[in-house]
Structure formats: C-alpha cells, structure tokens
Amino acid sequence: MLKVRVLSAVLACLAIGAVTAGVHASGHGRTLVVTMTNDQNGNEIKVYDAESHALLQTLPTHGKGGAGGNARGVKQYGGGLVAVVNNGSGDVALFRRDGDALKFEKVVQTTSAPLSVDFGNDHLYVAGATTVDSFVLHENSVGWLDGSTGLAVAGGGSPAAGETSQVGVISAEELLVTIKTDPTPGTVDVIALHQGRITGAAPTAVSAPPGSLAPFGFTTYPDGTALITLAHSDQDGLFRDGAFTSVVAAGQAASCWMTRVGKYVFVANTGSRTISRLIGTGSHVFVDAQIAAQVPTGSPADIDANSGVLGVIDHGAGQSHLSLFRYNEFGELEPAGAAITVGVANANGVAILAPRDREEN
C-alpha cells in the first residue's frame, strides 16, 4: 500500500511538472530582450531569449531608422508593450506581446523625428529633434496624440540636429528631456504635465552645471530625483526640484547611458567600455563601483535591466553586440554567457521584457 502511495505521489509530481513546463514554453515564461537594427532604409527589431540567447524573431518596424546620439530608442511597458523609434520616418512603432512573441500593432506619427521614448502617467512620451509629444495610453494600447511642446535650449533657441538625447518621467507633474549642446554645458528641459498630458507650455530650460558637458542618459527614482550622466565631462549628476544639486566624477570615460534596479543605477561608459554602479540618496550621488563589469566587444551604446537580467548594446569593428549579465540583490553583475553578435553595425536601444508576472520597478 505504501509503495502504491509513493508511486502515485511521484506520478502526480511528474504530471504537475509536465503541466508547468508546458505553460512555461507556450505562455509568458521567457525573459525577452529587444533591440532595433536602426537601418536607414528598413528598420527592424530583433527579439532574443535572455536565457538561451536564441534569436526568436526579426520583425519589421514599418519605418526607417537612423537614430543617433540618443538614449532609450526602445522602451518596454509592463512586459507586454514595446515602443521603437523610426527616426527616418517620423513615427514610433508599437509591438504587443503575445505569449513569448511580439506582434506589430501600429505606428503613431510624431511632430518631429523621434529619438527617445518613455511610458508613465498612462501616457507614451516621445522626444524628437525639436519637440516632445504625449500619447494617451489606455489598457496597454497607445491612442491619440494629446499634447506637444517645442524643446528649448538654455540661453535661448531650439536644439540643433543630433542634440536631443532622452525623455523620461520624473513625476506625475513633470517630464524631463536632456539636450547636449557642446561646447556649452547643455540643458535639461522640465516639461509640465496635466493628468499625464503635455500642457503645451514652454519648457523650463535648466543649464547643466558650469564646467560640465552634455546631460545625456538618465534614470529616475520614485522620490522625484534623477541621476543624469554628463557624458562629455565624465561626470554624473543628481537633478532635483528643477536643478542640479550634486555632481561627482564618474571615474570612467564617457559615462553615457543609465538604468536603475531598486537603489542601484548602472551606467554604460562608452570610452572605458565598462559598466559602473551608482547609488543616489536624494541629496548625493555615490559611485559604488567604478567597474561593475567590462564590455570587451565594443563601446556601450544603451543599457536596460529587469527580471535579474541586464543587457547592453555595444558597437565595435563595424559590428553590434548584445551582452547580457545577471545581477543580484547587491547589484553585483555576472556575465550570462558570451556576447551575441546582432549582425548589424548600428543597433540602437535595448529593452528587457520580464515574464508578465514578474516585472520590476
């Protein structure tokens, strides 16, 4: 009788395991990694499995690439929606997750050539060459354009070609756009929101600190602060209440792109081919590790992290690579296999899509 019970228990476990495996394979069990080819004639996205590094899909964006000098050209929302800039076509392509695959949904037209995207406050935000737009987001579907305003440079005027860097939500009332204007310090535009919509009011154009250059990639904390790279002066700054309140030396060359996991902020340093780890306190920036990881295959070009996976795109010797790392609760990075060769020279943007039931903030 005991043998029968044991055998029954074993069979039950095997049955449960088989069901679980089936759900994992056909449901939302994979962590996906998305980048875009950025091709000027026919842009595409490439979708990889973070665990096996297998290329799962190559999908057209129904537009033209050509973005450069930007951050966050690809952005995911909730593990189920992906926005991709078609810089050469003046629109943003949207993809929806279906199981462990992506499906093209539509494109939305922007008021200037798009370079960076972000989600928040029930909206999609798009920073372009000279403007920033808001689109209604309803039940994970992007709707109509409901707000727009022109970008401004500290001291007057609009950004020149190639100066707009990144857009990001800092609060329910404000949006930030970084603008690099070498040889002057550069600008952070603070854009007013009302119920998530860009109001149309002119931005408050805040100069980067004297002696610094090129506010570029950034990430925000829930307390309303932002850590911003000052890429061309090898510095990182804390932005709070409409001003830079702290600036530190990065200790690495060309700190450019950022992503946050909890209290830790990871920075891709283009010149040093490294990833640093920072901590922002609300009042100060601390370099927790100048070199948390190295990127030997090329110069880093964008970075994202989610679900225990950090991904960084790099460019080197006419080729783009995607390097994946695992991170733990202490912000320690460990390579997750060899770098993936993307197969194009100028891949742009990266987004990590967690399994739908395990997204991090």
Summarised one tens digit per residue, pLDDT across range 258-312 is: 999 999 999 999 999 999 999 999 899 999 999 999 999 999 999 999 999 999 9
Tokens of 90: 């003046």
pLDDT at residue 13 greater than cutoff 60: no
Query: Considering only CA atoms, which of 117, 126, 128, 121 is closest in space to residue 197?
Result: 121
Rounded to an integer, what distance in angstroms lies between the CA atom of residue 289 and that of residue 278? 7
pLDDT at residue 140, rounded to an integer: 84
Q: 179 burial class (0-12, 13-18, 19+ CB within 10 angstroms)?
A: buried
- Cβ–Cβ contacts within 10 Å for residue 141, how many? 12
CA distances from 69 to 200, 248, 285, 351 (A): 26, 23, 24, 17
Residue with tokens 């088989």: 18
Task: Please confirm whether the linkage preceding 296 is cis (ω < 30° from 0).
Answer: no
Looking at residues 57-79, what average pLDDT do you find? 97
Question: Contact 245/283 with Cβ under 8 angstroms?
Answer: yes
Rounded to an integer, what distance in angstroms lies between the CA atom of residue 138 and that of residue 272? 41
Beta partners for 352? 33
Looking at residues 133-145, what average pLDDT do you find? 94
